Amino acid sequence: MADATLGELAERWLDHKRASGRGMSDNTETAYRADLHAWGRALADHHGIDVPEDLEPLQTLNPAHLTAEALTAAAAAFFRQGKSPATRSRRISAMRGWCAWLVRTGHLTADPTLDLETPRLPRRLPVALTDEELGRIVRAASTPHERARGQWILLDRALIALFAGAGPRTSEVVGLRVHDLVRDADGALLRLRGKGGAHRNVPIAPAAVEPVDEYLADRRRRLGPFEDADPLLVTLAGRAITTGMIEYRVDQWFRRAGVRRPEGELAHVFRHTYAVGVLREGGSLNELQAALGHQNLATTSIYTKVAAEGLRDLARTAPVLRHLRETRPSPAASGG
């Protein structure tokens, strides 16, 4: 339809992505909508279009407004607004994907994003917790706290066990059902649903299963029986746990433990810690890639540098080095 607004075309693009083989998670769709909304606002400003507060900016625009000049001006506006390189890069990626679809479907004759420059992102290594920090966090989560809202120690311990034992994303933990903890003669597996609806099974050690079993037993005593298809993790009120609830609980653990909180999604630091631990214990990159559910091995390979940094620190503090530093040879022994 030649007179379709960009708002309508954005909905068709999102429908197309949802229906594609890889699918699209709710979080990804929310991010796309926020990015396209930001583009719509910036493009409307560039073209001098006054958008009512109750109207989506893209509804006031059509494909003719998607020019290379307008997109460059909008990208510059994001920079002036102080948006981070990561945010600007993500927005440009969303616009490129959308415009490529608009060209394929005949709504644009040429791709106006070809001259857009992606901001250079600073190379930041993932932050992993030390054993000492992990111990403090576990102790904080395992200790009753009178001002903690909705504290359920066995749930907290189960959360830590799942994060530390399998390295899942927070969204994957939220999506777990009771039957996703699979047990057989060889041990236990955690069945995770990752990005794009992809499934993977990750082995989980008995030491990580035990806190989950303790939580499930206590849940049965408190809230009554549950079905295999029910959410694995629920609050004391019986409601399925959400991403926000997990982030709140993790924030409380860090605060009470006195551990410096990393930037970004707090719970993700456990995924980083799991990944570095797998490599330090001798796991291969391919094994780690499968466990984390990365589609690209290059994404996984960043953990090799973090693991190597840790090994260098370990080498510098090895006991034999301390003895060598403290014990100096006599001049005769040194051959002088």
Catalytic residue among 136, 169, 193, 219: 169
Q: Active-site residue among 219, 271, 272, 274?
A: 271
CA 261 to chain centre: 15
Tell me if 270 sits within 8 A of 160, measured CB to CB.
yes
Q: Is 65 a catalytic residue?
A: no
Q: Would residue 17 show up in a list of annotated catalytic residues for this protein?
A: no
Catalytic one of 32, 215, 274, 303: 303
Neighbour order of strands in the sheet with 181-184: 181-184, 187-193, 199-204
* Catalytic option among 136, 268, 272, 274: 268
Q: What is the Cβ-side half-sphere exposure of residue 240, based on CA atoms within 13 angstroms? A: 14
Measured in Å, how far apart are the chain's first and last C-alpha atoms? 91
Question: Is 83 assigned a catalytic role?
Answer: no
Catalytic member of 195, 200, 256, 261: 195
Strands (E), 155-215: 181-184, 187-193, 199-204
Catalytic site residue 248? Answer: no
Residue 46 falls in the annotated catalytic set: no
Which 3 state secondary structure label does DSSP give 116? coil
Q: Which of 71, 109, 77 is nearest to 93 (CA)?
A: 71
What residues are annotated to the active site?
A: 169, 195, 268, 271, 294, 303
